[in-house]
Amino acid sequence: MSLLYEKRNHIGYLTLNRPEAHNAVDPETVLELVAAWEDYRDDEDLRCIIITGTGDASFCAGADLAKLIPLFTGARHPETDADRQIQADPTISMRAFLRDFDIFKPVVAAINGNAIAGGFELLYAADIRVASENARFGLQEVKWSIFPAGGSTVRLPRQIPYARAMEMLLTGEMIDAGQALQWGFVNRVVPPDRLMDEAQKYAEIIVKNGPLAVQNVKKAVLENTGMSVQEGLNREMELAVPVFLSRDAQEGPRAFKEKRAPVFKGV
């Protein structure tokens, strides 16, 4: 299977599984990714997801240059049902890479190797990013006269300093994990054999927190980007009130007072 999707203890595990193609996303994987993201969004039992890739060479090389990109440029005619679905509705591919697809539950990325083009753009939607020491990052589209249309010109300058973002966008050169950490794009860099353990630690901490609070905090941050300060404060309060009025907001302080772990229901 080109995509592995598992669920355990409120955590989803999503693994790109095409190591022979550097975990590039072909048409079939596009459809599988969209289905997995929709399931994660809608499954009330899931509170966090970890996305990673198979092997230690590549996290994701982006869209498959032999199978997916030619469908967009007209260089390849549809051959499968997946090809036909994507050619009929190119926005499906954007949703697979979490462009124009809102998920307000946390996403943790365990970056096991190179994250290039769409594979790098996929990380914009990850809230916490743990990178292997051998990981590299890059947007090489301009080298092939392709536009990085997975949100790069909008999201990247909002996530790292402007000059660094333009360096990546205009040169197409790669940066290593140390640079990504220094620029604030990743949270932590660890040896390859510790990668999933570190990602798991973040996920386990998150799923113990109140799910309503976690999801509305993320929603507030995403929605408030670009708003005026007053608009942002108003929207923050709109999202905060339902959390304060929830049963979980009663359970949290009660558990603290009783010196026990809270049991959150998401209501």
Alpha helix ranges (H) inside 68-194: 69-73, 81-88, 91-96, 118-121, 152-159, 162-171, 177-182
What per-residue confidence (pLDDT) applies to 104?
96
The Cα 59–Cα 119 span in angstroms is 7
pTM tops 0.95, yes or no = no
Average pLDDT over residues 111-126: 97
Residue 147 · residue 125 · CB < 8 Å = no
The Cα 115–Cα 111 span in angstroms is 7
Coil, strand, or helix at residue 173? coil
Checking if the pLDDT of 66 tops 80, the result is no
Residues of the chain with pLDDT > 70, as a percent, come to 94
Q: What is the CA radius of gyration of the chain?
A: 19
The 10s digit of each residue's pLDDT in 167-226 is 999 999 999 999 999 999 999 999 999 999 999 999 999 999 999 999 999 999 999 988
Query: What are the chain's domains?
Result: 3-207 (3.90.226.10), 210-257 (1.10.12)
Residue 49 · residue 14 · CB < 8 Å = yes
Q: Which of 65-74, 100-109, 133-142, 238-247 comes out lowest in average pLDDT?
A: 65-74
Partners of 194 in the beta sheet? Answer: none
Partners of 17 in the beta sheet? Answer: none
Separation in Å, CA 254 to CA 241, 259, 264, 265: 19, 8, 11, 14
- Tokens representing 172 are 């197409």
The 10s digit of each residue's pLDDT in 232-251 is 999 999 999 999 999 999 99
- Tokens representing 14 are 């999503």
Partners of 131 in the beta sheet? Answer: 111, 189
Report, as residue numbers or ranges, the catalytic residues: 121, 141
Separation in Å, CA 104 to CA 40, 142, 211: 10, 31, 10
